[in-house]
Amino acid sequence: MVETLVIVPTYNERENLPALISRVRATTPRLDVLVVDDASPDGTGALADELAASDSQLFVLHRAGKQGLGAAYEDAFRWALERGYERLVEMDADGSHLPEQLPALLDASAAGADVVLGSRWVDGGGIENWPWHRRMLSRGGSAYARTLLGMPYRDVTGGYRVFTREALENMHRDDVHSQGYGFQVDMLWHAHKAGLRIVEVPITFVERTKGRSKMSGGIVIEAMWRVTLWGLASLATRFGARRR
């Protein structure tokens, strides 16, 4: 039985999907891939169905509309856990997460990590083709969330990750309500609070060359607002516990 599933959420990624699937296959052939499409107007879902028709290790989960990254991953997690997968990989569809680096993440998972973070901000990691202000925003966002939530990890906002089945079953995902950019922070914070073993592996993040990014200033602001609320609630809880 195939134990590992790569989850690829898509929305208008028709230009990028075939090349990504081909690269995943070439790099790590012994795993399955699940494309989770939010009714992409550009026909990404239909293209995924065509690719799956000739690939027994490629599956497609169609959703009714664009409902957010968090909801897409939660639907995919449920789908995967029901089918017995032991390791679940989060990977962007635009090629920014290099499939060629996936074996290193899977090795860390096999070595005992409950959660593996593909990290841009540890030694050996990096970003290609980003302007300085995006680098500063990403670094600053990670530092802000790390400090406010009391987590030691360098890259808390990245989306290239590996979770074990046990990790997802033990981290109280019913309390994860974020849908956009904040979803990755929310998931990591719940994993941290659950006492899971979390390991960072360096990756190189490469800016997309085709299609349009789904990131916007509003999404980032919403995520930072949520982090602020979580951090204040956590501080209040810790302060109350010390007073008692």
CATH number for the domain harbouring residue 102: 3.90.550.10
**Cα(222)–Cα(171) distance, integer angstroms:** 23
In this structure, is the dihedral angle defined by the CA atoms of residues 134, 135, 138 and 144, taken in order, positive or negative?
negative
Look at the block and give the residue holding tokens 């956009």: 180
Residues 46-63 have a mean pLDDT of 97
Q: Which domain holds residue 183?
A: 4-243
Query: Which residues are CB-neighbours of 126 under 8 A, at least 6 positions away?
Result: 120, 202, 204, 205
Among residues 75, 228, 72, 81, the alpha carbon closest in space to that of 159 is found at 72
Under DSSP, the state recorded for 174 is G
Task: Supply the pLDDT for residue 139.
Answer: 79
- pLDDT of residue 1 exceeding 70, the answer is no
Per-residue pLDDT of 121-179, as tens digits, reads: 999 999 998 787 778 877 778 888 888 888 999 999 999 999 999 999 999 888 887 76
Domain count, the chain: 1
Select the more confidently predicted residue: 139 or 213: 139
> Could you give the angle at which helices 17-27 and 102-110 cross, rounded to 10 degrees?
50
